[in-house]
Amino acid sequence: MLVAEAETLSGCVYGFPVQRDGSWWEGFDGPLPQNIEQLTASGHVFAIKETLVHPHDHPRELARRLQEQLLGDHEASLGAALVEGSGRKAAAALRSWGWQEVGRIDRPAGPAGLRVLVLPLGERSAAHPDGLAHNDQTQRPE
């Protein structure tokens, strides 16, 4: 969890590292993109569970900075978030902060039709314009 405050609480963001076994992606509609699968297996994906920012504290910029700081603190190459299918405002907010929608997940024990959004943190190049490059030298220890 990361908290931003001035005179009062301005916002917070929290999440957790995605397990390397790929179980977090269970129910993904179609094949999981290979680069996302590789980043997950190498321990470089961090799930953002919630972002809360006071509406009067420049919410767009503060939310983006909080998310990037938390992901950076965990040495993530990819942020991941699930948004309920009816959560159009939440998905739109994430997209406005640079997140990309990459598919859907249907889980029998949870809400149906979760939108999957990712925030690539890798360098963009001609070979990887989406910033989702996998580097075999970045394997994190178990």
Domains, the chain, ordered by start: 2-135 (3.40.630.30)
CA 82/CA 117 separation, integer angstroms: 6
**In 3-state terms, what secondary structure has residue 142?**
coil
> 121 and 78 in contact (C-beta within 8 Å)?
yes
pLDDT in tens, 79-88: 999 998 777 8
pLDDT at 61: 81
The answer on pLDDT for 5 being more than 80 is no
Q: Which residue has the higher pLDDT, 29 or 107?
A: 29
**In 3-state terms, what secondary structure has residue 125?**
coil
The answer on pLDDT for 16 being more than 60 is yes
> 45 and 2 in contact (C-beta within 8 Å)?
no
pLDDT at 62: 84
Determine the residue type at 102: V
Tell me what percent of the residues of the chain surpass a pLDDT of 70. Answer: 77
The answer on pLDDT for 104 being more than 70 is yes
Burial pattern 55-89, b for ≥16 Cβ within 10 A else e, equals eebebeebbbbbbbebbeeeebbbbbbbbeeeeee
